[in-house]
A = this chain, B = another copy of it.
Amino acid sequence: MSRHTRTDGPPLTELPARQKPPTIREVAHAAGVSTALVSIVLRGAPGASETNRARVLAAAEQLGYRANRTASLMKLRRTRHLGVTLNVRSAFQGELAEQIHAAAAQLGYQIVLSLVTAAQDESRAVETLLGFRCESVIMLGCQLPEARLRELARELPLVLVGRRRVNLGNVDVVRSADHHGQALVVEHLTRLGHRDIAHVDGGQQPISAQRRQGYRAAMRRHDLGARIRVITGGDSERDGHRAAAELLRSQQPPTAVCAFNDHCALGIIDTLAKAGLRVPGDCSVTGYDNSLIAQLAAIDLTSVSQEPPLLAQSAVRAAIDRLEGHASGPTDTVLEPRLVIRGSSSPPSRRLPHRP
């Protein structure tokens, strides 16, 4: 995509007709004062007499005046816009976006959302945000290659949520301790009495390596190093199906399976159920992300929350600190995840299946 076009559609042309909204000049005229004074009054700036203040406010109200943000911002040469890229299919990212919105508003910033879809990849989504003259961009679940990220970070402050900070030049990162989160799950399962705990990982994603490592370390800490079993999974239900099928084929299926995320866990549960195994009776299953799905009573999945409100707040802070010059170098904020115990995990049954 050329960087010089502002849109891929037809060239911009004037709008057919429609009445144009009132300008500050018309308000000034109606109130019988100068535009400067109107500006002062409407911005709430000091230095206007009560009489004129009232007069201006009345005139504005009467005309249905609304400040033209475009014009103000052009003059000020800043927008107070924070760009956010998100995949609107992810409930987790949706919640993050909501929280970012709130946190930004608190600090006087507006957010501009740009969708990552089949039709608009992450790179284009950021380009869109640049077109809106966002002062900083927060990317949720970013998968862009490092080189591209370093490139973007040269144009404006960039904050990544949920990605490790490796080879990322001047990019800020906010994430939760995936390593620790997965360990929390293993500890919970061992405390219930499980020893044969398998992990269905997330495949290639860098975040997957973190959780896998957390699982391995926790298993070793409980002297279960010999029982470590990692199955290749992924982030979808389908991946869970595949992995569960593999587990069922094994000589001695585990009594508990911790999955890379909730969707994957759902696939596992489904396949186990179809094979006649009850969850958690015959096998405990856990997810990750504490998504809305995990919270459904019909699913009731033990999971790990990444604390979206905190993640969001940290991301906004990182973006704005950088923007306003409070930041020294690139930051890497790591938050503690929280285990949420629900009904999909329980002690192993006495009669372990397939046990000799």
**Residue ranges of A at the interface with B (Cβ–Cβ < 8 Å):** 3-18, 20, 42-45, 57, 60-61, 64-74, 76-80, 88-89, 91, 94-95, 97-98, 101-102, 105-110, 112-113, 115, 117, 119-120, 128, 130-133, 135, 155, 237, 241, 266-267, 269-270, 273, 292-293, 296-299, 323-325
Contact = CB atoms under 8 A, between A and B. Distances in A.
Contact of A15 (B4, B97, B135, B267): B135
B325 A298 contact: no
A89 B91 contact: yes
Contacts of A128: 110
Given A14-B77, A18-B323, A101-B119, 19 more contacts: A3-B64, A3-B65, A5-B67, A7-B110, A12-B76, A13-B78, A15-B77, A16-B325, A66-B130, A68-B133, A70-B70, A88-B98, A89-B292, A97-B115, A112-B112, A237-B298, A266-B296, A266-B298, A293-B296
B298 A108 contact: no
Top 5 A-B pairs ranked by shortest CB distance?
Answer: A9-B108, A88-B94, A113-B113, A15-B78, A270-B298
Number of this chain's copies in the assembly equals 2
B108 A120 contact: no
A214 to B, nearest CB: 26
Given A7-B108, A108-B10, A110-B128, A89 B95 contact: yes
A68 B130 CA distance: 9
A269 B16 CA distance: 54
A65 B6 CA distance: 11
Given A105-B119, A131-B66, A296-B293, A80 B14 contact: no
A318 B211 CA distance: 47
Contact of A131 (B11, B61, B69, B133): B69
Contacts of A324: 16
A6 B69 contact: yes
A153 to B, nearest CB: 13
21 contacts: A3-B66, A4-B66, A7-B110, A9-B105, A10-B108, A12-B72, A14-B77, A16-B325, A20-B77, A70-B70, A88-B95, A101-B119, A110-B128, A112-B112, A113-B113, A237-B297, A237-B298, A241-B297, A266-B297, A267-B297, A270-B296
Contacts of A132: 69
Contacts of A130: 66
Contacts of A12: 72-73, 76, 78, 80
Contacts of A241: 297
Contacts of A323: 15-16, 18
